[in-house]
Structure 1
Amino acid sequence: MGWSFAHKEKGVSVKQFFEEEFGCTNKETGVYYKVLDCAATFTEAYLAVETGDASGPKEVFAVVCLLSYRPKDYFNFGYKDMSEDMGPYYYNCPERILKLLTPTENKLALEWREKCWERIRAKKARPKLREGMIIQFVEPLQFSNGVKENIFKLEDLRRLIVTDRWGFRYRIRRKSLEKPFKVLDDFPAAERKLA
């Protein structure tokens, strides 16, 4: 499915927008759709959507929406929606949304849910970061100046400022912290910066 653009009033949350956009009831059949919960970042939104009718069982499924903003246009808010049974390649769905979903037998939806759970388990298994901690990534990070480095001391967690073993400072992306790393007690002795 392609992108849809609409006007979103200032002060309307992403959740409120999608509740209005996806919530509906067919008066003839009684089938309804209702957004139970929404978790959004700047680029992605994950929704738990309930469907059913007055007589039958209810089903809750996930919808992934990619988000786009055009603040200078009247149609200032865009989204590309994909249901979980389309097998979207976005796995940042939070645990609270996944727990609302009802069981399914759809293969693509099951694979998508498992990859989301894998990401959640991996995130929980990571050590809690704190300033002054030395971390070593399995694969080096490459910076815009061409430098590749994999061992850093965390200087500022809020702005993600790190120092390499030679004392050079870098700013890393939050997404980099999703890559595998381990915590070290100190910089390796043979490679420590000379005083």
Structure 2
Amino acid sequence: MNDINQPHSKGRTKMGWLFREDITRKELIADITKSWERQSGDTLVQTECLAKCFRGGSFSGVLWAVLERRFIKNGEEVQPKQRWITCDLIEYRRGSGWGNKSMDESMHPYYFSCPLKYLNMVPIDEFGGNAEWRPEVMKRHEKRRAKRRSRAVVA
């Protein structure tokens, strides 16, 4: 869904990554997830971030978000709303600053730390999604739960 996402502020690109020296990680996350709207003919297109979380360390990680888009004409929705899960890789590179590489669920990112509640927020039967990626996310969460349970038994 990258073609319908709002383009982020200008910076240097490198193999799908966009780097900016003038921004902090917190500012980059705010920029990626900010709500926005634009006029398309007589229809107002509004995009809003419903949920977001960053999973990672001080210099790299994954930003998960749920975005929703509405199409409004004369105060009423004229198309079904769209909702999708995004996965932005975020990294700091010396000399380049903070950067991100945007993906979404449809691209089957090889990252599975997406919060389970995000899957529930974007039901596949209503909004679509990646039927192969979602079970991998669920497996990862089950493995983590099993690991926590095994630690509790040992202690």
TM-score (structure 1 length as normaliser): 0.55
Give per-residue Cα distances to partners, 1:98-135, cap 9 Å, x unaligned: 221132589871211221112122322331525x938x
Alignment of 1:73-84 (within 5 A): 73=95, 76-84=97-105
Q: Is the 8 A contact 2:89 2:100 kept in 1?
A: yes
Q: Identify the structure with the greater helix proportion.
A: 2
1:24 matched to 2:50? The reply is no
Q: 1:106 to 1:61 in 2, by over 3 A?
A: closer
Query: Is structure 2 residue 115 aligned with structure 1 residue 94?
Result: yes
Letter in 2 for 1:8: I
1:41 counterpart SS class: strand
Higher relative contact order (CA 8 A, sep 6+): 2
1:39 paired residue among 40, 53, 66: 53
CA deviations on 1:148-186 (whole Å, 9 max, x unpaired) are xxxxxxxxxxxxxxxxxxxxxxxxxxxxxxxxxxxxxxx
Hey, what's the Cα distance between the residues in 2 that align with 1:90 and 1:79? 14
Q: How far is the alpha carbon of 1:62 from its aligned partner?
A: 0.7
| Partner in structure 1 of residue 81 of structure 2 | 58
2:66 to 35, 41, 48: 48
- CA distance in structure 2 between the partners assigned to 1:119 and 1:17 by the alignment: 29
Of structures 1 and 2, the larger Rg is shown by 1
Q: What is the TM-score of this pair, normalised by structure 2? A: 0.67
Structure number with the higher strand fraction is 2
Q: 2:92 corresponds to which residue?
A: 69
Whole-angstrom distance in 1 between the partners of 2:50 and 2:127: 21
Q: State the number of aligned residues.
A: 128
Are the aligned partners of 1:38 and 1:97 in contact in 2 as well (CA < 8 Å)?
Answer: no
Aligned to 2:131, the other structure's residue is in SS state helix
Residues 1:30 and 1:106: Cα distance change in structure 2 (over 3 Å): closer
Superposition CA RMSD, Å:
2.9
How do residues 168-187 of structure 1 correspond to structure 2 at under 5 angstroms?
Answer: none
- Counterpart CA distance in 1 for 2:90 and 2:115 is 17
Question: Which segment drifts farther, 114-123 or 81-90?
Answer: 114-123
3-state SS of 2:151 partner: coil
